[in-house]
Amino acid sequence: MDYNLINGGIPPQIGNLTNLSGLSLSINKISGAIPPSLSHLKSLVDLNLGQNFLTMELPTDIGNLSNIASLLLNNNNLSGEIPPSFQKLEQLEQLDLENNLFAGGLPNPIGEATGMSILFLSGEIPDSLGGLKNLKSLSLSHNKLFGRIPLSFGGLQSLKSFNLSYNSLFGEIPYTLVYLFELSYLDLSNNKLEGRIPCGPQMDTMNDPNSYANNNGLCGMQIKVSCEMVPSKPKLKRERPRKKELGDMVFTGNGSD
């Protein structure tokens, strides 16, 4: 029932459809909250409520959807934090929460959802995402992410598509990304990244300048910008230790240094 003009709320009686395996109501005018009774649909494999006008928080017991493989809730007005029960969604392969009003990040640790293939979420990036070794596509674009890209992302060795664009990430691109040998699409544009882009067999092929556009001082062969041309940060002047500090130091060796 996609692409219709269905409006109003999702009735709580939907929880009575206990044998339902698929429900797609995307691109309609459905409003209101997702009823808690939807968490009773333990046979549900695919749920698509994207591009509607849903509001409020996710049901606390959404983790009871133990067979869910595809959960698409993008482009709504859902808010609040992701419930801790989310960690139970171990069969999840596709998750889209893009363009909502969620606060915070994924529950950390993220659980055992190692089959997850697509992820959209706002908030700080947890290191535990690097443990999803079967993850094929990771998109955290157009959010309010800040901080550094975790070194643990080098563990996403099945990753083919990687998008962190339009956030406020800063610091250097982690060298561990050279271990992403399956990577074929990369977009780190519109952040505050700087320093040398890591070099490696696959990272060297990620040479589209648009993938790195609008950052602060990135350099590397991928974008044909010499790192010698990028001004380095001024080093702090090292002051000589005072006499009292010299007296407190413990010297080792024969003093020939």
Burial of 178: CB neighbours in 10 Å, binned 0-12, 13-18, 19+: middle
Average pLDDT for residues 64-85, to the nearest whole number? 88
The pLDDT value given to residue 115: 54
Please report whether residue 1 resides in a domain: no
Q: Look up the CATH number of the domain holding residue 127.
A: 3.80.10.10
* 239 CB-near residues (< 8 Å, 6+ apart): none
Please report whether residue 254 resides in a domain: no
Please report whether residue 255 resides in a domain: no
Average pLDDT for residues 54-81, to the nearest whole number? 90
- Is this prediction's pTM over 0.85? no
222-256 tens-digit pLDDT: 999 999 866 555 444 444 444 443 344 333 344 44
CB atoms within 10 A of CB 197: 26
Please report whether residue 257 resides in a domain: no
Q: If you average pLDDT over every residue of the chain, what do you get?
A: 82
Picking from 35, 38, 37, the residue whose alpha carbon sits closest to that of residue 57 is 35
Parent domain of 138: 7-248
Please report whether residue 67 resides in a domain: yes
Count of structural domains within the chain = 1
pLDDT band at 95 (very low <50, low <70, confident <90, very high): confident
Report yes or no: 47 and 65 within 8 Å, Cβ to Cβ. Answer: yes
**What is the rounded CA–CA span in Å between residue 50 and residue 68?**
16
